[in-house]
Copies of this chain bind each other. A is one copy, B any other.
Amino acid sequence: MKNLFGGPGRVSGLVMRVFQCLFAASSIGIMVSSSGFSTSTAFCYLIASMGIQFLWSFALACLDMHALRIKKDLQNHLLVSLFAVGDWVTSILSLAAACSSAGVVVLYAKDTQLCQAQKTLNCEGFQIAIAMAFISWFYLAISSNVMFWLMASS
């Protein structure tokens, strides 16, 4: 198996996982602390989806750290396939959550001007939380592509 940037059991892979965890956690934190998030199902789904992504990335970050400490090679076909499928499913869920929330925020802020009319809606908070979710998805998409590449080329 090739030794790609961001592969499992490498420092670059661990850094990716840590970024995914950080941005997913901050997305959840900012969304939960924004008033009026429960008005839309999409925002609740974003929190759930970012929660799943946080757990997945945290588990893989721990595994990477363990592999780096005991200098174990994680690049066998079974493990890489498992990571690739998990990453693919999680990244689709995250992108879906971020996009559906973005659709609702654009409706609130631009199409209906609800953000200006209803001061109880913290639209800036929603926007920052969604931006964090997109950044977290971006790092996950890189990991996902690297895993898929490793799986296909093995």
Segment at the B interface, from A5-13, A18-26, A65-73, A102-110: A102-110
Tell me if A101 counts as interface (CB < 8 A to partner B).
Answer: yes
CB-defined contacts of A103 to chain B, threshold 8 Å: 40-42, 99-104
Contact with B along A99-136 (1 / 0, CB 8 A): 11111101100110000000000000000000000000
CB distance from A51 to the nearest CB of B (A): 18
Which residue of chain B has the shortest Cβ distance to A106 in the bound complex?
B41
CB-defined contacts of A56 to chain B, threshold 8 Å: none
B95 adjacent to A40 (CB under 8 Å): no
CB distance from A26 to the nearest CB of B (A): 21
Tell me if A55 counts as interface (CB < 8 A to partner B).
Answer: no
Interface size on A, residues (CB 8 A): 23
Which residue of chain B has the shortest Cβ distance to A38 in the bound complex?
B111
CB-defined contacts of A102 to chain B, threshold 8 Å: 100, 103
CB distance from A47 to the nearest CB of B (A): 14
Interface residues of A, Cβ cutoff 8 Å to B: 39-42, 92, 95-97, 99-104, 106-107, 110-111, 145, 148-149, 152-153
30 CB < 8 A contacts A-B? A39-B111, A40-B103, A40-B106, A40-B107, A40-B111, A41-B103, A41-B106, A41-B107, A42-B103, A42-B106, A42-B107, A95-B95, A95-B96, A96-B99, A97-B99, A99-B100, A99-B103, A100-B100, A100-B103, A100-B106, A102-B103, A103-B103, A104-B104, A104-B107, A148-B148, A148-B149, A148-B152, A149-B152, A152-B152, A152-B153
